[in-house]
Amino acid sequence: MNGTARLWLLHAAVVALLAALNFLLPAYHHGLMARILVLATFAMGYNLTFGYGGLLSLGHAMFFAAGLYGAGLGIHHLGLGVPAAFLAALACGAALAFLAGVLALRTTGVAFMIVTLMFSQAFHLAILYFSAFTGGDQGLVLRPQQRRIETMLGTLDLTDPTTRYLTALALFSVVLFAMLAIVRSGFGRVLVAIRENEERTRMLGYDTFASRLAALVASGTICAAAGAAYGLLFGYVGANFASVQYSILPLLWVLLGGAATTLGPLFGTVFMYYVVDIASGYTSAYMLAVGVILILLVLFFRKGLLGTLRERWLGWLP
Amino acid sequence: MNALLETRGLSRDFGGLRAVDRVDFSLMPGEIRAIIGPNGAGKTTFVSLVCGRIEPSAGTIVFDGADITALPAHRRVRLGIAYTFQITSVYAQLSVFDNVALAVQRTLADGRSQGRLRAGVMEALERVGLADRAWLPAGQLAYGHQRLLEVAMGLALKPRLMVLDEPTQGLGDSEIENFIALAREIAASATVLLIEHNMDVVMQLAHRITVLEAGRVLAEGSPDVIRTDEAVQRAYLGGGA
């Protein structure tokens, strides 16, 4: 079996395992995993710029929220159907990422962190300010009848737990395989090359700005897809998803799972979500557990779970 | 025959310092030209202007008849200007093969070369003698081999003008011998612009030599003319020796 076949098989096996969990998990964990799959998709989008592109953004909550509100407002105000709302969300994410990228990518490093953070804060405050339109800090609730897809084969009801889980898994799988294809493509190699040595890459004839912008637009679109799915599957569109917390969470998930690994965002999100879930059963200071884990990560697994695994034993992991 | 590269009044200021001062320079196709001069003479700044790594304060640059003064560096590379870094600048984490593959991938995307990625990479590696090390991480190569990898990446770009910035710096005697042979071979398919401190290498390789001092062209001519030029002797070759 050659390397490429092995990789596709490995990723297909992960997707198959997640599909099997749909039938095995008890109700509580079933709901939790559906949420995690959507958030892991968000993390994969973040990983494209942070892990592979080497761009530390503190503004990705903006792209998640662009999807969330793009879909939510489209349904609430324009009466869009679910598929149209989803496409509108993708367009919002891509357009916002393009605009933010054209301006923010003139900077790198700390300045890039600050600029993306400012954009994201401005976006958050704009949502709160236009409360007549967005529902402000109350947010919007999408009614069950607004979360149905009428197809020729019947109605797909996104409020049904199994449909919800499988829809989340479908989105996750599409993005996972897209990520695998991207990072193994010429574009993915150039992105890593820019991260490793921008000046050298420029002197090989690559337009490094254009490559980074393309990566950010792809990343923003994926994050918006996750945001839209979150709103459509769980029925709530809220301003707290645009807050700085939701810019930092994908960073932590990716760091925990392994930056610049295709499967790391999934493992990081699952791990952290369950740590918070379990710890909050014992204490209200559950962030303490997160803090301890992050310290252990920095001390012993500096490249995250999968990054360390790849470095020590499995060099072929993408 | 028209010049491949021509600069007119090319200047670059860093604050109050004029690093390159109104340089008129012309390079014919097929030539091997060496640029020499004492430290701080503006050699690297001059070739960086040619490659587009830095912007000029004044003057124009013409490559193959077209004004490229305003073109960004990556566009100049696509026109056929390749630059090898003075300080070795390879992707240490990537394999030797992948380093060169990035260059070949670019020429394939531009339509400047055809065929398969792998063949293009191995051809460049064979020319510099690194084919047997293709799968090592570049960071594990000996220093001299990293210099050769730099050259291989330049070659893989299929350049018309190859700019080599102190390619023999830090190399041993036998490696320098090999490099001279390699540079002659490169010159068979590209024009070579060479910054070099090692005068043996310069005298053996260069068809013509340009001497820079304090950002200006002090002298220009064949190796024999430069060797006997009094101003050059004073400025560079060590007093009246």
The CA distance from B139 to B236, in Å, is: 35
The pLDDT assigned to A225 comes to 98
User: Which residues 6+ apart lie within 8 Å of B236 measured at CB?
Assistant: B36, B37, B38, B211, B213, B218
Higher pLDDT, A250 or A316: A250
Task: Provide the mean pLDDT of chain B.
Answer: 90
Q: Which tokens go with B156?
A: 């893989």
> Is A175 a member of any domain?
yes
The pLDDT assigned to B237 comes to 59
> Is A306 a member of any domain?
no
Query: What would the pLDDT profile of B140-158 be if each residue is shown by its tens digit?
Result: 999 989 999 999 999 999 9
Domain range enclosing A48: 3-243
- Contact: A206, B157; criterion CB under 8 Å: no
Contacts of B53 in chain A (CB under 8 A): 199, 203
Q: Is the pLDDT assigned to residue B83 strictly greater than 50?
A: yes
Query: Pairing mode, if any, of strands B32-36 and B208-213?
Result: parallel
> Is A277 a member of any domain?
no
Tokens 């401190």 sit on residue: B197
Query: What would the pLDDT profile of A258-276 be if each residue is shown by its tens digit?
Result: 999 999 999 999 999 999 8
User: Which residues 6+ apart lie within 8 Å of B138 measured at CB?
Assistant: B90, B91, B92, B93, B94, B95, B96, B99, B146, B149
> Is A203 a member of any domain?
yes
Average pLDDT for residues A101-121, to the nearest whole number?
Answer: 95
The pLDDT assigned to A1 comes to 58
> Is A141 a member of any domain?
yes
User: Which residues 6+ apart lie within 8 Å of A108 measured at CB?
Assistant: A55
The CA distance from A76 to A146, in Å, is: 9
Q: What's the gap between Cα A143 and its chain centre? A: 25
Average pLDDT for residues A288-303, to the nearest whole number?
Answer: 86
Q: Tell me the C-alpha to C-alpha distance, in Å, between residue A196 and each of A183, A199, A317, B93, B209.
A: 15, 9, 18, 8, 36
> Is A312 a member of any domain?
no
Q: Is the pLDDT assigned to residue B11 strictly greater than 80?
A: yes
Which CB contacts under 8 angstroms, 24+ apart, belong to B228-237?
Answer: B235/B37, B235/B38, B235/B211, B236/B36, B236/B37, B236/B38, B236/B211, B237/B199
> Is B91 part of the contact surface with chain A (CB cutoff 8 Å)?
yes
> Is A177 part of the contact surface with chain B (CB cutoff 8 Å)?
no
What percent of chain B lies above the pLDDT cut of 70?
Answer: 97
Closest Cα partner for B71 from B62, B210, A260? B62
Contacts of A208 in chain B (CB under 8 A): 74
- Contact: A203, B53; criterion CB under 8 Å: yes
The pLDDT assigned to A145 comes to 84
Q: Is the pLDDT assigned to residue B111 strictly greater than 90?
A: no
Query: What would the pLDDT profile of B31-49 be if each residue is shown by its tens digit?
Result: 999 999 888 899 999 999 9
Query: What would the pLDDT profile of A115-143 be if each residue is shown by its tens digit?
Result: 999 999 999 999 999 999 998 888 898 88
Which of residues 231 through 260 in chain A touch B, CB cutoff 8 A? Answer: none
pTM over 0.80: yes
Q: Using CA atoms of B1, B3, B9, B12 in order, give the dihedral in degrees to the nearest 10.
A: -170
- Contact: A200, B51; criterion CB under 8 Å: no
| CB burial readout B76-92, b (16+ within 10 A) else e | bbbbbbbbbbbebbbbe
> Is residue B142 exposed (0-12), middle (13-18) or buried (19+ Cβ within 10 Å)?
exposed
Helix (H) or strand (E) holding B123: helix B117-128
The pLDDT assigned to A118 comes to 96
Q: Is the pLDDT assigned to residue A94 strictly greater than 50?
A: yes
Residue A276 Cα, gap to closest chain B Cα (Å): 35
Q: Is the pLDDT assigned to residue A278 strictly greater than 70?
A: yes
> Is A278 a member of any domain?
no
- Contact: A196, B94; criterion CB under 8 Å: yes
Query: What would the pLDDT profile of A8-55 be if each residue is shown by its tens digit?
Result: 999 999 999 999 999 999 999 999 999 999 999 999 999 999 999 999
Instruction: Judge whether A280 and A142 are in contact, CB under 8 Å.
Output: no
What is the count of structural domains for chain A? 1
The CA distance from B84 to B48, in Å, is: 11
> Is A302 a member of any domain?
no
- For chain B, which domains are there? 1-71+160-176+191-241 (3.40.50.300), 81-158 (no CATH)
What percent of chain B lies above the pLDDT cut of 90?
Answer: 72
The CA distance from B238 to B46, in Å, is: 23
| pLDDT confidence tier of residue A157, bands split at 50, 70 and 90 | confident
Closest Cα partner for B57 from B93, B108, B9, B109? B9
Helix (H) or strand (E) holding A48: none
Q: Is the pLDDT assigned to residue B235 strictly greater than 90?
A: no
Q: H helices within B2-115, ranges in order?
A: 43-51, 73-79, 96-110
| pLDDT confidence tier of residue B241, bands split at 50, 70 and 90 | very low
CB atoms within 10 A of CB B62: 17
